[in-house]
């Protein structure tokens, strides 16, 4: 698939794609690290969660999102969704070879490999991410002494999307997922899902002060900065604007975005978009 992508577009925005609002944690880190860059955040709020869905479905959704963001003129794509990174990154890279793409798994694995002393690393993520074993492979590539335990913690996505991130319900659910993991005495816990950092305070309370808590937002932002630099695509100094796109529920999106980003965003500022499959060869079924 060709994108019509030109490598001279330094002023073009960075596209940041997630299944919902969780990727705002990555957006926040990107904006801190790269304040001059314009950004377009796309949350597929109509179809969240991606975690329990099959690889084929995630690939189709990620294709649609990529095609949409390219139609908005992005110069680089951040797959700010672990599940989409795990299932679709390779396909998207093959189909749009000219588009620089940064996923969140490799930067997260890098941070974990550096943070762990004992090599006992726990990962919590969506069902799809855990089943694909992507974190295990990415961490073991960096540290062959690592013992990686990856477990699904899918309900945390619903809590984050609901904004229930610091109450007794959140605390009980986090205990339910983490108590068995803590029994294995990891010294590092990777939040392998973009939504989980929203529950970081409760997670920290449950794991105590001695387990390193790793999320990929900061390291992803560093990877994006390096990629822009390498390709001579960094914006010229100035303040980059951010556009917010969602496939459903602008009012809810605005409410959550306001609290996650720490600045007011009005529902009117959220553009509602419809994603559809990029054109592909039509295969006509033979009629009997």
Residues that bind ligand DGL (CB under 6 A): 18-20, 22, 48-51, 81-83, 126, 129, 157, 193-195
Q: Which of 27, 34, 67, 81 is catalytic?
A: 81
Smallest distance from the beta carbon of 156 to ligand DGL, in angstroms? 9
- For the chain, list the strands marked E by DSSP: 14-18, 39-43, 76-79, 101-103, 120-125, 147-152, 188-192, 212-215, 242-246, 270-272
Cα 177 to Cα 148, 206, 268, 275: the distances in Å are 16, 10, 37, 34
Q: Using the minimum distance from each CB to ligand DGL, give the nearer residue, 22 or 100.
A: 22
Q: Are 48 and 14 in contact (CB under 8 A)?
A: no
Q: Using the minimum distance from each CB to ligand DGL, give the nearer residue, 130 or 211.
A: 130
Smallest distance from the beta carbon of 47 to ligand DGL, in angstroms? 8
Q: Using the minimum distance from each CB to ligand DGL, give the nearer residue, 129 or 219.
A: 129
Q: Which residues of 82-101 are buried (b: 16+ CB within 10 A; e: fewer)?
A: bbbbbbbbebbeebbeebbb
Smallest distance from the beta carbon of 194 to ligand DGL, in angstroms? 4
Q: Which residue is nearest to ligand DGL (CB)?
A: 51
DSSP state of 196: G
Peptide bond into 211 cis (omega under 30): no
Smallest distance from the beta carbon of 286 to ligand DGL, in angstroms? 37
Mark whether 188 is an active-site residue: no
Mark whether 81 is an active-site residue: yes
Long-range contacts, stretch 208-213, CB < 8 angstroms, 24+ apart: 211/182, 211/186, 211/187, 212/115, 212/116, 212/187, 212/188, 213/188, 213/189
Smallest distance from the beta carbon of 196 to ligand DGL, in angstroms? 8
Q: Which of 193, 223, 257, 273 is catalytic?
A: 193
Cα 180 to Cα 130, 151, 174, 192, 214: the distances in Å are 16, 10, 11, 17, 19
Smallest distance from the beta carbon of 108 to ligand DGL, in angstroms? 10
Which stretches of 102-238 are DSSP H helices? Answer: 105-115, 127-132, 134-142, 155-162, 168-182, 200-207, 217-230
Q: Using the minimum distance from each CB to ligand DGL, give the nearer residue, 44 or 235.
A: 44
Residue numbers annotated as active site: 81, 193
């Amino acid at each position: 698939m060709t994108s019509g992508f030109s490598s001279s577009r330094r002023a073009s925005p960075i596209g940041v794609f997630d299944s919902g609002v969780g990727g705002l944690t990555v957006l926040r880190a990107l904006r801190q690290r790269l304040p001059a860059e314009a950004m377009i955040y796309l949350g597929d709020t109509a179809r969240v969660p991606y975690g329990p869905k099959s690889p084929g479905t995630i690939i189709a959704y990620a294709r649609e999102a990529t095609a949409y963001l390219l139609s908005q003129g992005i110069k680089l794509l951040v797959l700010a969704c672990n599940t989409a990174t795990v299932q679709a990154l390779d396909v998207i890279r093959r189909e749009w070879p000219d588009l620089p793409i940064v996923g969140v798994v490799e930067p997260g694995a890098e941070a974990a490999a550096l943070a762990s002393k004992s090599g006992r690393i726990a990962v919590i993520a969506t069902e799809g991410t855990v089943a694909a074993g992507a974190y295990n492979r990415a961490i073991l590539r960096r540290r062959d002494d690592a013992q990686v335990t990856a477990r699904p913690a899918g309900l945390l996505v619903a809590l984050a999307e609901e904004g229930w991130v610091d109450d007794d319900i959140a605390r009980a659910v986090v205990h339910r997922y983490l108590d068995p993991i803590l029994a294995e005495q990891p010294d590092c816990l990777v939040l392998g899902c973009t939504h989980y950092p929203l529950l970081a305070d409760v997670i920290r309370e449950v794991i105590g002060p001695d387990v390193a808590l790793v999320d990929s937002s900061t390291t992803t932002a560093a990877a994006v900065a390096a990629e822009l630099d390498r390709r001579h695509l960094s914006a010229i100094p100035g303040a980059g604007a951010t556009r917010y796109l969602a496939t459903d529920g602008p009012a809810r999106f605005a409410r959550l975005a306001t609290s996650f980003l720490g600045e007011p965003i009005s529902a009117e500022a959220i553009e509602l978009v419809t994603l559809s499959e990029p054109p592909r060869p039509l295969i006509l079924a033979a009629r009997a």
